[in-house]
Amino acid sequence: MLEAVELHQYYGGSHILRGVSVSAAPGRVTVLLGRNGVGKTSLLKSLMGLVPIRSGRVTLAGADISRATPYQRARAGIGYVPQGREIFARLTVEENLRMGLAGKPGRTPVPESLYELFPVLRQMLGRRGGDLSGGQQQQLAIARALAASPSLLILDEPTEGIQPSIIKDIGRVIRRLADEGLDGHPVAVLLCEQYFDFAAELADDYLVLERGSVIARGDHRDMQSAHVRGLVAI
């Protein structure tokens, strides 16, 4: 589904991403690990087109999207949940969800399956996003990204500042999306995460960044080793 090859990205004179390659396939959760400041969020923003790459190639379902705009990538099938959630605080829950449908015809309904994944949202449709708890806002941010039925879901630190019970709920949703999707079609998931145990429970594949370069990659069978945990320990 997603294939990024030899990405190089700069902020001013700083070389942030150094030849990073990553892929994500339908039905699998690929976990991106690393300490703070190693380039994880920069990589996700590069995949979404929010920051330009200097060189390298990004393809989605075989189509080259390396120079596509963020909205073109969203319409091509990428759903993005940024770090910090970035919901619209003054809009209602329903209005936030409808923002996820901006690329669809005006009368497109919010998928009922979103309320099955996140029942609390149905109860709070008329409440403003800024009045929700942190965990509820994260569920709203994920649901907004899913509203357009993406084939690839990118999540940046979805457990940050979230209570344990909702972390478990989010984990179950991510696994279900990878296995079944919203409509029976498995989704490719790229998950950036610092909470190692959460990542290890979900991961089918993983890669570890350090100073903008991939220093380790493999499948879930390797993740429980002390070596991998040590690479991402703060």
pLDDT in tens, 168-186: 999 999 999 999 998 889 9
How large is the average pLDDT for residues 19-44? 95
Reported pTM: 0.94
pLDDT at position 184: 86
- Structure tokens given for 196: 């190692």
Residue-wise pLDDT for 96-125, tens only, equals 999 999 888 878 889 999 999 999 999 999
CA nearest 139: which of 182, 104, 93? 93
201/33 Cα distance (integer angstroms): 13
Q: What is the average pLDDT across 204-223?
A: 92
Q: Is 221 exposed, middle or buried (0-12, 13-18, 19+ CB in 10 A)?
A: exposed
Q: What percent of the chain has pLDDT over 90?
A: 81
Specify the pLDDT at position 98.
93
Residue 201 is predicted with a pLDDT of 93
- CATH architecture, domain defined by 2-84+149-232: 3-Layer(aba) Sandwich (3.40)
224 pLDDT more than 80: no
